[in-house]
Amino acid sequence: MSDTAEHTTGYLLGHAALEQRRLLIQASYVRPWTARLLRRAGLTEGMSVLDIGSGLGDVAFIAAEIVGPGGRVVGVERDPATVETARRRAASMGFTDIVSFANADLTEFDPAGSDPAWRPFDALVGRFVLQYLPDPAATLRHLAGFVRPGGIVVMHDMDISNPDVSVPRCALWNDCYALLSALFRAHGIAPDFGRHLTRVFLDAGLPWPDVDSGAMTGGKPGSTVFTWLGSAVQAVEPLLRQAGIALPDGLVVDDKLVATLERAVQDSRSMVLGNTHYGAWTRLHNGPHRSERP
């Protein structure tokens, strides 16, 4: 991973209403992929799960559905307002007996601080969180220390660095997509972070992971991939301007952007790509800090 600027500490995209809306849209779209990843990695009924960078709670809720009433899920999120929203969502979805949320920085989190009787977790999970950390391997090593020997670590991250995301080429789609990658680079965050998960796991002292990948695709009228990109650009527009990243000529970022993107793609008769997903998982055979080498 090569950063082109000083790495921003904390979550780049903030916690404003537009970003929370974007996160809910994204969570709905990627939910099936995350659920398959967690099950494939070995998440099952009765497990205890630590969900890091829990945000609004969507991954914690997927984990809760998998582990069921005999399991438990603890989500860790640093933004207190987001934690309160996640707790309200858990209550409205009937998950309060399974899911709880802790307000803490991941680098400082210690489950014994809030529960002296805690026991090591069966699984550590996280989605779209490691790439925002100044030292993802060190933080992953720290958090894997709360997983029992024989437990699993599962991370779901992304790659938004692809410059060729429409066939035939749709200029507006490609230009809007490129804004996200440019913003990440401007803040020293690797837009292709998902490709580096194996190295991060090994640098954290974890066993060599299995890795799977897949890309969001769309083009058909009504595809949620339009909402994904349109809501993302709308949410980050203030950050783009702060970073001095120019918008494409003639682009108006407003509530009509989703429809504008869809029309452009339909006119181009294109298949378009969203972000590429990478899932990595491993089992801690002999504790969290022993690295396996080929």
Which residue reads 């997983």 in tokens? 147
pLDDT score, position 113? 79
pLDDT in tens, 219-266: 999 998 999 899 889 888 999 999 999 999 989 999 999 999 999 999
- DSSP strands (E only) in 39-117: 48-52, 72-77, 99-103
What's at 149, amino acid-wise? Answer: P
pLDDT in tens, 156-202: 999 999 999 999 999 999 999 999 999 999 999 999 999 999 999 99
pLDDT score, position 46? 98
pLDDT band per the 50, 70, 90 thresholds, residue 1: very low
For residues 215 and 161, the answer to whether their CB atoms sit within 8 Å is no
Round to whole Å and give the CA distance between 143 and 147. Answer: 8
Round to whole Å and give the CA distance between 66 and 45. Answer: 6
pLDDT band per the 50, 70, 90 thresholds, residue 118: confident
Percent of the chain whose predicted confidence (pLDDT) is above 90:
76
CB proximity list for 61: less than 8 A, separation 6 or greater: 89, 90, 93, 95, 99
Which residue reads 């009924």 in tokens? 45
